[in-house]
């Protein structure tokens, strides 16, 4: 039996269901509020609808075997000490970037070097540059690797684009797709400010799969169906 986690809401929910349908893995759900479903003609696969941010953790603790998440969320959440694996890196949907954005009023700030100068100026005045984000691990690593050390990270569960105007933080690091929302809130991205490029990916826990040898054939059939569809569309999976 394969336990397959897919996003229950958010940007990836509808696209994941459509993608799996195109792969020949049509999901049947008894009602919209049910947390489980099945893949038609494959009774050995149980579909679990979960919040996208929880899927990586559930794979790590072996509550589910494989799952579809955003690559950005996977890289933010994964524990390097646990046996999770990136099975198919690019599923061809959910493309976006995690990027830094500052107020448009910061006319002299257009790249990371400018931002570093601002951080130093803040520190000289006894202040700290505040960055609001839902991806603290990725943001901190990106900043430190590029020599920008004087900052603090502000967590929030709300809409990030409004944060600078409210004074909660000076800038944001957020998921950007079209960029329209950023512009509408008088923000701009920075040159060199892209932290990670992302799209939907398939991840799994090989330990949980190998513990159940009878599940391996079902697992491999799902991988074959996905890779066959991606190949037919000329999309490299970078598995």
Residue 195's Cβ-count burial label (10 Å; 0-12, 13-18, 19+) is buried
Measured from the Cβ of residue 185, the count of other Cβ atoms closer than 10 Å reads 18
Residue 5: DSSP 8-state: E
pLDDT of 234:
86
Cα distance between residue 129 and residue 102, in whole Å: 11
Fold of 2-94+199-232: D-Maltodextrin-Binding Protein; domain 2 (3.40.190)
Q: What pLDDT digit, counting tens, does each position of 8-26 carry?
A: 988 899 999 999 999 999 9
- The predicted model scores a pTM of 0.90
Mean pLDDT of 128-141: 95
- Which CATH number fits the domain 96-197, given the four candidates 1.10.10.60, 3.40.50.720, 3.40.190.10, 3.90.230.10? 3.40.190.10
Residues in contact with 29: Cβ distance below 8 Å, sequence separation at least 6, in sequence order: 36, 37, 47, 49
Measured from the Cβ of residue 34, the count of other Cβ atoms closer than 10 Å reads 10
Cα distance between residue 49 and residue 154, in whole Å: 29
pLDDT of 83:
76
Low-confidence winner among 29-38, 134-143, 205-214 (lowest mean pLDDT): 205-214
Q: What pLDDT digit, counting tens, does each position of 145-185 carry?
A: 999 989 999 988 778 999 999 999 999 999 998 878 899 99
The segment(s) of the chain belonging to CATH 3.40.190.10 are 2-94+199-232, 96-197
Average pLDDT, the chain: 91
Mean pLDDT of 128-133: 96
Question: Are residues 51 and 6 in contact, defined by beta-carbon separation less than 8 angstroms?
Answer: no
* 95 — pLDDT class (breaks 50, 70, 90): very high
pLDDT of 159:
86
């Amino acid at each position: 039996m394969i336990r397959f986690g897919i996003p229950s809401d958010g940007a990836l929910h509808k696209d994941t269901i459509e993608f799996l349908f195109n792969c020949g893995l049509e999901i049947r759900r008894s009602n919209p509020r049910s947390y489980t479903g099945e893949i038609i003609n494959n009774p050995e696969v149980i579909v679990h609808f979960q919040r996208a941010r929880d899927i990586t953790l559930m794979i790590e603790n072996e509550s589910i075997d494989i799952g579809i998440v955003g690559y950005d969320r996977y890289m933010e959440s994964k524990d390097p000490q646990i046996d999770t694996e990136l099975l198919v890196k690019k599923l061809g949907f959910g493309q976006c970037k995690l990027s830094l954005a500052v107020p448009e009023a910061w006319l002299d700030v257009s790249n990371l070097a400018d931002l570093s100068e601002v951080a130093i100026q803040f520190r000289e005045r006894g202040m700290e540059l505040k960055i609001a984000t839902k991806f603290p691990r990725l943001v901190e690593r990106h900043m430190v690797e590029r020599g920008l050390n004087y900052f603090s990270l502000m967590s929030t569960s709300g809409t990030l684009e409004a944060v600078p105007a409210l004074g909660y933080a000076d800038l944001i690091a957020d998921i950007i797709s079209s960029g329209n929302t950023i512009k509408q809130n008088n923000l701009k991205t920075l040159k060199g400010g892209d932290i990670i490029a992302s799209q939907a990916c398939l991840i799994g826990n090989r330990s949980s799969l190998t513990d159940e040898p009878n599940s391996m054939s079902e697992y491999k059939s799902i991988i074959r169906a996905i890779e066959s569809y991606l190949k037919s569309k000329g999309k490299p999976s970078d598995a």
